[in-house]
Structure 1
Amino acid sequence: MPVRVTLNDLMVRKGLKARDVAAQVGLSETQFSLFRSGKVKGIRFSTLSRLCAVLECRPGDLLDYDFDPREMEPVEPEEV
């Protein structure tokens, strides 16, 4: 998947502990760990907003994208 979660890098730079951030955001440590490791398929905008507020950052600070031309191949439309 070309979208990568970079939350862990941001937390290291800011010297924050996962347990503290998870509590402030209102997530269980398990849910937070799954997002940090990129093992989720999506995230609610409300959760993303809370993460940004707690970490004083923008969504682009938590996610990165590596372009993969194979991702541009035609696919069936998905529901949004």
Structure 2
Amino acid sequence: MAIIINLDVMLAKRKMKSSELAERVGITPQNLSVLKSGKARAIRFSTLEAICDALDCQPGDLIEFQKDNTHEN
């Protein structure tokens, strides 16, 4: 099972740079990079809310669940 982060897709759709989003949300560019890469182990709801507000989107636009079929019994 995998959680896919589509933050780059939404940034491109909104024609916004990562640095601008980081500034609007109030997080460091480094933390935003960790989120974008999918390496974050958690995200605060307040951060997710701020990202959705800045990008005018829903959480489901940013986060996707993809079932991993390679480990089925």
Higher relative contact order at CA 8 Å, sep ≥6: structure 1 or structure 2?
Answer: 2
Matched AA of 1:14: R
* Equivalence for 1:62: 62
Superposed CA deviations along residues 29-75 of structure 1, whole A, max 9, x for unmatched, are: 0001110111111101110001111111000001111113548x9xx
% identical aligned pairs: 35
TM-score, scaled relative to structure 2: 0.89
Runs of 5+ unmatched residues, structure 1 = 74-80
Query: Who wins on radius of gyration, i.e. which is larger?
Result: 1
Once superposed, what is the RMSD of the aligned Cα atoms? 1.7
Matched AA of 2:11: M
TM-score, scaled relative to structure 1: 0.81
Runs of 5+ unmatched residues, structure 2 = none
Matches of 2:2 and 2:31 in 1, distance apart? Answer: 21
* Equivalence for 1:11: 11
Matched AA of 2:21: V
Q: Which runs of 4+ in 1 moved over 4 A?
A: none
Matches of 2:34 and 2:14 in 1, distance apart? Answer: 20
Q: How many aligned residue pairs are there?
A: 72
